[in-house]
Chains A and B, each alone.
Chain A
Amino acid sequence: QSVLTQPPSTSGTPGQRVTISCSGSSSNIVTPYVYWYQQLPGTAPKLLIYRSSQRPSGVPDRFSGSKSGTSASLAISGLRSEDEADYYCAAWDDALSGPVFGGGTKLTVL
């Protein structure tokens, strides 16, 4: 059982907007340091969003992040087939003195 809770799966059609939630507790997501990673099939994870809403260079602006209280969200607009992947949130956990990951959400593009 992961410290951060994500829905196991979600889906959308090309062009649609989807959101993935990440729920934590007062020991982790209360800080602004929520990260999102994309893992394409058979590859290593890739940093998608840092500090809740910032995009590293090279990440399309179709990807956006937000945080409110002990929850965070990743939104993907203009869905494309190449977005089909697993998405993970991560945050620092004060109680565990280490980073924790969500269980991951598998995005299927129909």
Chain B
Amino acid sequence: EVQLVESGGGLVQPGGSLRLSCAASGFTFSSYWMSWVRQAPGKGLEWVANIKEDGSEKYYVDSVKGRFSMSRDNAKMSVYLQMHSLRAEDTAVYYCARSSYDFWSPGYWGQGTLVTVSS
């Protein structure tokens, strides 16, 4: 059974940093692109970033470029999202997702971790 478990969310002040983690199990982790997708309170879904199977390619939505960095450790079957210079508009539930039938398309999702940026 595919499982994705996010952690690392919490309350952080504007301008602060936070590192999210996502532990995967139940599939061959090194064979799939992975993504982060976020959802602001009461709002829709927004793709944030994704990373290729071997970590050699990474892509980001414009609003987080230069502030967020996605990485993965295939040995630990984990992906990470390092977030710097956080803003109030980054407040959201962050979901980790495994690709499905196309590299960019989330197939399986974690339960999400809430990031709140507030003073």
Cβ of A63 within 8 Å of any chain B Cβ, yes or no, is: no
* Chain B: CB-nearest residue to A50: B101
Minimum C-beta distance from B113 to chain A (A): 11
CB of B44 within 8 A of CB of A2, answer yes
Interface string of B67-108 (1 = CB under 8 A from A): 000000000000000000000000000010000111011111
Total number of A residues with any Cβ neighbor in B under 8 Å:
26
Cβ of A101 and Cβ of B105 under 8 Å apart? no
Which of B102, B104, B107, B112 is in CB contact (< 8 Å) with A98? B104
Please report whether the interface of chain B is mostly helix, strand, loop or mixed according to DSSP. strand
Tally chain B residues at the interface, Cβ within 8 Å. 24
Q: A24 contacts the other chain (Cβ, under 8 Å)?
A: no
Q: Are A46 and B102 in contact (CB under 8 A)?
A: no
Nearest-neighbour CB distance to chain B for A11, whole angstroms, equals 19
For A101, list chain B residues within 8 Å (CB). 44-47
Which residues of chain B from 5 to 44 have any CB-CB distance to chain A below 8 Å in the complex?
35, 37, 44
Is the beta-carbon distance between A104 and B44 smaller than 8 angstroms?
A: yes
Which residues of A in the span 90-108 have a Cβ within 8 Å of any Cβ on B? 90, 92, 96-104
Query: What is the distance, in angstroms, from A49's C-beta to the closest C-beta of chain B?
Result: 11
Whether B101 and A51, one on each chain, are in contact in the complex, defined by CB atoms closer than 8 angstroms, is yes
Which chain A residue lies CB-closest to B105?
A35
Q: Using Cβ atoms and an 8 Å threshold, which residues of chain B touch A99?
A: 35, 47, 104-105
Contact yes or no, B112 A97, CB < 8 A: no
Q: How far is the CA of A37 from the CA of B46 in the complex (A)?
A: 13
Question: Which residue of B35, B50, B61, B106 contacts A47 across the interface (Cβ within 8 Å)?
Answer: B106
CB–CB B61/A50 < 8 A: no
Which B residues contact A (CB, under 8 angstroms)? 35, 37, 44-47, 50, 59-62, 95, 100-102, 104-112
